[in-house]
Chains A and B, each alone.
Chain A
Amino acid sequence: MTDPAVEAEFVGQPIDLFVVVFYFIAVVSFGLWFGKYTKNTKDFFFGGQRFSWWLIAFSGIATTVGSYSFVKYSAVGFKYGLSSTQSYMNDWFWMPILLLLWLPIIYFGKIQSVPEYFERRFGTTARHAATGLILLYLIGYVGINLYTLGQLVQSLTGLPIMAGAIGTAFIVMLYMFAGGQTSVIMTDLAQGIILLIAGLGLFAVGIYHFGGFGNFWDLLPRSHKFIFSDFATPDDFSFIGIYGQDGLANTGAFVLMNQGMIMRFLSLRSVKEARKMAIFWILILYPIAAITVSGGGWIAAALVANGEIETTGKHAFVDAASFLLIPGVFGFILAALTAALMSTADTLVTAVSSIVLNDVYRPYVKPNATDKHYLKVARITSTCTVFIGVLLVIVFMKQDSIYSAHGMFTAAVTPPIVSAIFLGILWKRYSTKAALATMIGGGILIGLSFNDHLNDLFLQPFSFGMGEASYKFTRSFFGLAVCGGIGIIVSLMTKPRSDEQLVGLVNGTQLQAMHSFKGGKPNRTPGKWAKVPVVVDPELEGIDTALVPQSALDTMSAEVSDLIYVTDPRWWFGGLRSIHCNVTAVSKGDAIRISQEAFDYAHFKVDQTVSVEKIL
């Protein structure tokens, strides 16, 4: 490998560099400041389960618009046009399964990770298999992310890859150590807004440059104007290949097995908020994000057609940005590029830390320790994960085909786990042996499909007449078909678990999950928000008890023993100052009464009014 520093130099002006450095300092400060809201492991991994839908939606965008998205989708947009958005337009179809089945199972079941679901649904062996596979996948992904960050910093500043990787890893580690998920959510909120502004801003400036959308549209070749690529051409960008890989396997994985996203959903204050968040996120923010990451490529294609610049797909975004934008603003775009990557890396690190603590350390290394101890371990695990990620960068730098190796591993792991979860939540008959056969047998068969002598035999029937170049995409069809097939056949030949063992874990038992979440019959009567003063009751103990005035209970259609959510009424806090409580009795007077501990945890102020909502 040649010395990267010799090959690259900073592509902007000094003021751009100043903007990038200022941005890094701001992100770290922002993350560190929110560290004060993290007092236990629930805060560290799930942000105290108190946030509003809009906050998580914007921070989720920063996470999903991540690894190389700007460069990758701009390159695809430059080459193929609007069809670069395909990957962002097929998530909606999974929403009913997410909102009406998977989310109630994990939220009401208080399931903290995918391996934990495997243990409850299929037993300990399945949990071990899932833990191993998911950890390998996630840690490799952290390394890939840091490597990509290093490459990006190198291409923008001329610094060596390792310097960029270590620098950004250190920044991520600092705010993660301080605040865990709360810091991740708040920094990702800021980063999400920045990258949306940057991407949309560049697209808008490009449209203005051409004198309006009509002129821009005319400059694009006709083949660039379709939202879908051709059904089965070209081999490496056909609709059907992308549909199989992204629309089915990857989106299925994103909805069902992405630990980072599960943690975001569990950070919301209620399932109702999760519904709002998912709808806004997928239906509104996703199409906007598609324009954000692809727009630079479309503008670059129009600039080339107009004879104004010469560029390639890989450099389309940066070249279009540097051509159209003034110094300083270009620095903002560079900051957005790193923001996209950092916000993915921090989510992955939290996900690894969560699985290591909840699926390895807590059950097998030191059960029944104090929450303070587990919080310490969570922080250490996060730090270690970042270090391992940096070490992996050294390994990856020596591998020419690391992206393809990572792609192969992802392709082999994703369909088995997605199929096992999908069948597990949907079908009571799906047995433990079937789940193991799906993961092990399916994984082996997919692994064999990478063999040069077997790939035609395995993948050609799923490739719709396309050639070998399509296998990377159509392997997903093969994987889902064999995993699903194995799962169904083995289920029909083996004994399923009893209905009692499946309560809250499979379709048909969502209401029972709600019941056990609350510890009583859920109150689903529609109610309204109540606004009341909050006071400390010295006689109350514990963080989760509250006495509520009858008038507020009437407004909420709530009763004693219901679960309520008490929050600062200012919406822009997004739930940061809030707490969940059980109504233990009706309070005298017109104020809600909570313990000193709950008051401090929620960061309420003396004599303040709060908004109260019935959850269940």
Chain B
Amino acid sequence: MNDMARIWPIIVQFGGGSILCLIGLWCGLKSNYLDMNTPEDKRLVYIIIGGFLFLLILSSIFTFWLPNLPVEAAQ
């Protein structure tokens, strides 16, 4: 069972994080420094989004799943 004291950190961490990521991506796109026609720059955007999702999944596993496993089940 999860209470909000455990869920708020994920909301704040990834909510605040998404704002920072969007600011950075906006800067890259607005200035044309990030050229979405080149594979290299396109890959960078995918990696930034992928890294964000990877950390979100990792945090969720160690918040909603593994801490709640019954002791016997983990053995």
Contacts and interface: CB of A to CB of B under 8 A. Distances in A.
Do A and B come from the same complex? yes
Interface of A: 82, 89-90, 92-101, 104, 214-215, 217-218, 222, 225-233, 239-240, 243, 247-248, 272, 275, 279, 282-283, 287, 426, 507-511, 514, 524, 526
B75 to A, nearest CB: 5
A233 to B, nearest CB: 7
Nearest to A219: B71
Contacts of A98: 24
A100 B6 contact: no
B40 A222 contact: no
B16 A243 contact: yes
Contact of B47 (A226, A248, A279, A511): A279
Interface string B24-39: 1101101111110011
Given A214-B74, A240-B12, A96 B24 contact: yes
B63 A93 contact: no
B12 A507 contact: no
A511 B20 contact: no
B51 to A, nearest CB: 5
A273 to B, nearest CB: 12
B12 A92 contact: no
Contacts of B66: 217, 225
B75 A214 contact: yes
The 9 A-B pairs at the shortest CB distance, nearest first, are namely: A96-B24, A100-B28, A93-B17, A227-B62, A228-B9, A225-B67, A510-B33, A97-B24, A239-B9
B5 A231 contact: yes
A101 B27 contact: yes
Nearest to A218: B71
Contacts of A287: 58
A399 B23 CA distance: 43
B9 A229 contact: yes
Given A233-B5, A239-B9, A93 B20 contact: yes
A231 B20 CA distance: 21
Given A92-B51, A95-B24, A232 B33 contact: no
Main secondary structure of the interface of A (DSSP, over half): helix
A507 B31 CA distance: 7
A240 B33 CA distance: 34
Interface in B9-24: 9-10, 12-13, 16-18, 20-24
B12 A243 contact: yes
Interface of B: 4-6, 8-10, 12-13, 16-18, 20-25, 27-28, 30-35, 38-40, 44, 47-48, 51-52, 54-55, 58-59, 62-63, 66-67, 69, 71, 74-75
Contact of B27 (A89, A100, A215, A514): A100
Contact of A507 (B27, B38, B47, B59): B27
Contacts of A275: 44
Contacts of B8: 231, 239-240
A59 to B, nearest CB: 22
Given A226-B63, A226-B67, A511 B23 contact: no
B55 A89 contact: yes
A38 B74 CA distance: 54
A228 B35 contact: no
B28 A101 contact: yes
A92 B55 contact: yes
A287 B57 CA distance: 14
Nearest to B30: A508
A233 B44 CA distance: 37
A89 B59 contact: yes
Nearest to B2: A226
Contacts of B5: 230-233
Contacts of B9: 228-231, 239-240, 243
Contacts of B24: 94-101
A92 B59 CA distance: 13
Contacts of B54: 283
A230 B6 contact: yes
B30 to A, nearest CB: 6
7 contacts: A89-B55, A99-B44, A100-B34, A225-B66, A283-B54, A287-B58, A509-B31
A101 B22 CA distance: 12
Contacts of A226: 6, 62-63, 67
A526 B27 contact: no
B63 A526 contact: no
